[in-house]
């Protein structure tokens, strides 16, 4: 079982961001102890969260440089 600090290190984010991810329900966890208790994670759940956040690779035609657009006058 992994702690919040373990997950934060593995994801390369802060501990507070891990708590936010848990609060949103984006990652499964266990609450151990009275009231809210300690939070623990299974490695499989962290892997599943990472896979759910994966973005597809950019298409090769979108990597082409765009034409320069002149700045607009807003006044």
- Give every residue of the chain whose pLDDT is below 70, as ranges: 60-66, 68-75
The angle subtended at Cα 17 by Cα 45 and Cα 5, nearest 5°, is 65
Q: Domain segments of the chain: what residues?
A: 4-52
* CA–CA separation, 7 and 13 (whole Å): 8
Instruction: Give the pLDDT confidence score for residue 34 in this predicted structure.
Output: 86
17-29 tens-digit pLDDT: 999 999 999 999 9
């Amino acid at each position: 079982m992994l702690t919040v600090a373990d997950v934060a290190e593995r994801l390369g984010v802060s501990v507070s961001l891990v708590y936010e991810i848990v609060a949103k329900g984006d990652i499964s966890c266990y609450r151990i102890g009275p009231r809210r208790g300690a939070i623990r994670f299974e490695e499989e759940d962290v892997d599943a969260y990472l896979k759910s956040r994966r973005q597809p690779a950019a298409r090769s035609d979108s990597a082409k440089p765009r034409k320069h657009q002149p700045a607009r006058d807003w006044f």
